[in-house]
A and B are shown apart, each in its own frame.
Chain A
Amino acid sequence: MGLMDIVFGPYERFGERGGIVILVVVAIVGAIIAGGLTVIGVQLLAAVSFVIAFTFTYGVLFLFLYLMWYRRPR
């Protein structure tokens, strides 16, 4: 679990809601990447679509992985 400690440790202060914070962070990261994609010529709607897909795959995945890490036996 070493890698998960590094990734999720900073969000432990938020308790169980840390997963929601991570979801928001992932959405922001997705928006930044989407911004970069528009620069190389990706259409705006496709970029918005990217943010939705990125957030609801990586974001929700990390939310539940955080929950797994948070509820681990200590």
Chain B
Amino acid sequence: MEVASDLGETSIEAEIARETWITRLGFIFAVWGSMTGLGNVWNWPSKVSLLGGGPFVLIYLIMLALVGIPVVLTEFVLGSTFRRGFPSALKRIHPAGEFLGWFCMANSAVLEAFYVVLIGYAAVYAGFALTGLQLGGPMGAAYFTDQPEFFVNLLMSPLTLVGLIVVWIVVFAIDYFGTKGIERSVMIFFPLLWIIVIGMAIFGLTQPGAAAGINFYLNPQPNQFFETKMWSTAVSLSFFKLSAGMGILTAYASYLPRKGELTNSAVTTSLLDTTFAFTAGLAVFPIAATVGVLGDETVGSVGFAFVAWPGGMTMSGGNLLGFVFFLMIVFLGVTSAVSLLEAVVTAVMDKFGWPRSRTVIVMTIVMFLMGVPFTLWMAAPGAAATDVTWGLYLLDIFDYYVENFGLVLVTLFMMLITGWVWGGAKIIETANEAGDFELPSWYVWVIKVIAPIGIIAAFAFIVLSIFLEGLYLAGTVLDLIAPLVWVVICAGAAIALTMAKGVE
């Protein structure tokens, strides 16, 4: 790609030179690495514990088949067919699709900007857990087990910026080498992460709190089956968790060889993600019960990972356990962050014909600079009690709009464009060309009707919750400015990039 672009060759020659995954497993591991992120460790398991245990897992898997996997498959087919990033692939279906594609890329860039900040927190925690050093600050000197003092000290120190820089260096170093770099890194991260999570699960199940942890995690709650929240959560999780609406899956599939297998890859990667999250629950809850933080009100949130969990690591060997836990979080985060960067890099390379080296450098700098405001360590006196600093406040508020509106709407419109404008039958036909198994013809209606209805239902519940609970309001003027900034960034970038002259 790089050579072809530098020489100004035609798109056909550029396509011939397009890099490809070396192995099928490399592609599957990379997609799994993208899907499996920080939420697998505390968010998904906590939803299982709150919404019905094992039977919820079963319902989640049904929703996965009806909503999540059709979305993944559609993105795979888009990338594989057009061998282009998200905006260019959608443009080939309908000219207006390019705007949606670039809106998605801008939304993903904002997501990447604050996501790397969270990974930076985990990296700093891992460092302090390993070294046993104290972090002095407004709350006094504190070890990583002294919570919430340590977390507040971290937020109110430039270390958040240091964490951001460190993680960006790693993400840049992997993505600079393209699919080769990603494939090599996931070949290390994949087995390592499974060893860590299974090891932690075995360790957890041998601890005194194992029974309490498993009872908390998996006890069925039949009353939940009559609650709309359980069903809406199953639907929204089924595509939220699978890197949908970020352009990642399209970008990764665009590097598959011609006639690459798609159907089983979509199913296997989704199941790998779910299985990892299930195992993470077996690891986290027994240990949390053992160290006495299971009933913490923050279970299922970022606060659980950064406050409750390390606060419980005062047991013998707690520092080591804390280090392993945060190392896992860092690895999980890095594989996802690389995929987000790659989605944007692929889109820019395809549009402007830039070489990979230049594109990765430019995009890394842009997204790093976008992330700096999320590390601001100055106190935010007017914000909510949990948003101690301006950085955390901005992170929470942008997270709210990027996830609840950006990802959901992009996924919905992508499904409508591909299913109805391009044709659901083409998706099935392409998937069946080289699939390990054949999708039945009626699956067209799953892609065209059922999956979009599921996404619309998930969005309807988000809107309903706004009416019931209100928007994200912490009490400052930024409550109103932040969503406008988000819309201006995404829509402005989408208009500018759609109108910009590209090489295609």
Binding partners A and B:
yes
Q: Does B53 contact A (CB under 8 A)?
A: yes
A4 vs chain B, min Cβ distance (A): 9
Which of B55, B214, B219 contacts A52, CB < 8 Å?
B55
Flag if B211 contacts A37 (CB, 8 Å). Answer: yes
Q: Does B215 contact A (CB under 8 A)?
A: yes
Q: Does B272 contact A (CB under 8 A)?
A: yes
Tell me which residues from 266 to 308 in chain B have a Cβ below 8 Å from any Cβ of chain A.
Answer: 267-268, 271-272, 274-275, 278
Flag if B54 contacts A51 (CB, 8 Å). Answer: yes
Flag if A53 contacts B218 (CB, 8 Å). Answer: yes
> In whole angstroms, how far apart are the Cα atoms of A45 and B220 in the complex?
7
Tell me which residues from 434 to 450 in chain B have a Cβ below 8 Å from any Cβ of chain A.
Answer: 436-437
B26 vs chain A, min Cβ distance (A): 12
Q: For chains A and B in complex, what number of residue pairs have CB atoms within 8 angstroms? A: 82
Which chain A residues lie closer than 8 Å to B210 at the CB level? 37, 40-42
Knowing A45-B220, A49-B218, A68-B436, the reply to whether A40 touches B211 (Cβ < 8 A) is yes
Which of A41, A57, A64 contacts B57, CB < 8 Å?
A57
Flag if A57 contacts B436 (CB, 8 Å). Answer: no
> In whole angstroms, how far apart are the Cα atoms of A48 and B218 in the complex?
9
Q: Does B473 contact A (CB under 8 A)?
A: no
A72 vs chain B, min Cβ distance (A): 8
Which chain B residues lie closer than 8 Å to A67 at the CB level? 264, 436-437
Flag if B275 contacts A52 (CB, 8 Å). Answer: no
Which chain A residues lie closer than 8 Å to B272 at the CB level? 61
Which of B215, B261, B271 contacts A57, CB < 8 Å?
B271
Which of A41, A56, A61, A65 contacts B211, CB < 8 Å?
A41
> In whole angstroms, how far apart are the Cα atoms of A50 and B278 in the complex?
10
Which chain B residues lie closer than 8 Å to A50 at the CB level? 54, 214, 218
Flag if B275 contacts A45 (CB, 8 Å). Answer: no
Flag if A42 contacts B264 (CB, 8 Å). Answer: no
Flag if B271 contacts A46 (CB, 8 Å). Answer: no
Q: Does A13 contact B (CB under 8 A)?
A: no
Flag if B436 contacts A71 (CB, 8 Å). Answer: yes
Task: Report the nearest A residue to B275, measured CB to CB.
Answer: A57
Flag if B220 contacts A64 (CB, 8 Å). Answer: no
> In whole angstroms, how far apart are the Cα atoms of A72 and B205 in the complex?
36
Tell me which residues from 25 to 74 in chain A have a Cβ below 8 Å from any Cβ of chain B.
Answer: 37, 40-43, 45-46, 48-54, 56-58, 60-61, 64-65, 67-68, 71
Tell me which residues from 57 to 98 in chain B have a Cβ below 8 Å from any Cβ of chain A.
Answer: 57-58, 61
Task: Report the nearest B residue to A72, measured CB to CB.
Answer: B24
> In whole angstroms, how far apart are the Cα atoms of A43 and B25 in the complex?
39
Flag if A60 contacts B54 (CB, 8 Å). Answer: no
> In whole angstroms, how far apart are the Cα atoms of A3 and B54 in the complex?
29
A41 vs chain B, min Cβ distance (A): 3
Task: Report the nearest A residue to B436, measured CB to CB.
Answer: A71
> In whole angstroms, how far apart are the Cα atoms of A36 and B412 in the complex?
45
A44 vs chain B, min Cβ distance (A): 10
Flag if A52 contacts B268 (CB, 8 Å). Answer: no
Flag if A57 contacts B274 (CB, 8 Å). Answer: yes
> In whole angstroms, how far apart are the Cα atoms of A70 and B174 in the complex?
32
Flag if A42 contacts B54 (CB, 8 Å). Answer: no
Flag if A45 contacts B219 (CB, 8 Å). Answer: yes
> In whole angstroms, how far apart are the Cα atoms of A62 and B267 in the complex?
11
Flag if B275 contacts A49 (CB, 8 Å). Answer: no
> In whole angstroms, how far apart are the Cα atoms of A24 and B217 in the complex?
24
Flag if B268 contacts A64 (CB, 8 Å). Answer: yes
Flag if B275 contacts A61 (CB, 8 Å). Answer: yes
Which chain B residues lie closer than 8 Å to A37 at the CB level? 205, 210-211, 214
> In whole angstroms, how far apart are the Cα atoms of A58 and B61 in the complex?
12
Which chain A residues lie closer than 8 Å to B61 at the CB level? 56-57, 60
Using a CB–CB cutoff of 8 Å, the interface residues on chain A facing chain B are 1, 37, 40-43, 45-46, 48-54, 56-58, 60-61, 64-65, 67-68, 71
* Contacts A1-B25, A40-B210, A49-B219 known; 10 new A-B pairs at CB < 8 A: A37-B210, A40-B205, A40-B211, A46-B53, A50-B54, A57-B274, A57-B275, A61-B272, A68-B264, A68-B436
The 10 tightest CB contacts between A and B, nearest first, are A49-B54, A41-B211, A52-B54, A49-B53, A53-B54, A61-B271, A49-B218, A53-B57, A57-B275, A71-B436
List, sorted by A's number, 26 A–B pairs whose CB atoms are closer than 8 Å.
Answer: A41-B210, A42-B211, A42-B214, A43-B215, A45-B220, A46-B53, A46-B214, A46-B217, A46-B218, A48-B220, A50-B214, A51-B54, A53-B53, A53-B57, A53-B278, A56-B61, A57-B271, A57-B274, A57-B278, A58-B275, A61-B271, A61-B274, A64-B267, A64-B271, A67-B264, A67-B436
